Copies of this chain bind each other. A is one copy, B any other.
Amino acid sequence: MTEDQLISILRDSGYKVTPQRLAICNYVLSSKEHPTVEQIHSEILEKNPTISLNTIYQTMDMLIDLGLVQEMRFSGSSSRFDPNTSVHANIICQNCSKIRDFESEGIRELWSRIVMEMNVEPLGQRLDVYVLCDECRK
């Protein structure tokens, strides 16, 4: 998504466009790390040294409201945010908590079949696979 597109989405939904929001959105929406609030905060602090932790929380609430990120909570750690809202699987290492996204046509196909079987209108989904990653298996 371009910055202009993002700005339109914010304005259309009644959110004001602020430098803080742009900085946070640019970082989070392009991140592959499924970052925590703390990680986002320390990243943004480098260029915007007075940004408040609270602003990160509020901006993440906004992104959730806009459907641009998904919040994922885990045992023993704080929330992480996934800007990939399409149907995909999260491969999560039980040891180091690293998350890798996995998408495929086969998964999307099977998933839409299952949703049909369930006879529901999904607002979202979360497909987690818990593993030990290559490094942690050693």
Q: Are A79 and B75 in contact (CB under 8 A)?
A: yes
Given A73-B73, A75-B71, A129-B118, A113-B106 contact (CB < 8 Å): yes
Protomer copies: 2
A107 at interface, CB cutoff 8 A: yes
Let me know if A89 is at the binding interface, CB within 8 A.
Answer: yes
Please tell me which one of the listed residues B71, B79, B117, B124 contacts residue A107 in the complex, with CB atoms under 8 A apart. Answer: B117
Contact A127 B106 (CB under 8 A): no
Contact of A102 among B74, B79, B118, B129 (CB under 8 A): B118
**CA distance in complex: A104, B111 (Å):** 12
Q: How far is the CA of A71 from the CA of B132 in the complex (A)?
A: 18
Chain B residue contacts of A130, Cβ below 8 A: 122-126
Q: How far, in angstroms, from A110 to B109 measured CA to CA in the complex?
A: 8
Q: Which residues of B contact A121 (CB under 8 A)?
A: 131-132
6 contacts between A and B (CB under 8 A): A89-B114, A104-B114, A104-B117, A122-B131, A123-B132, A124-B129
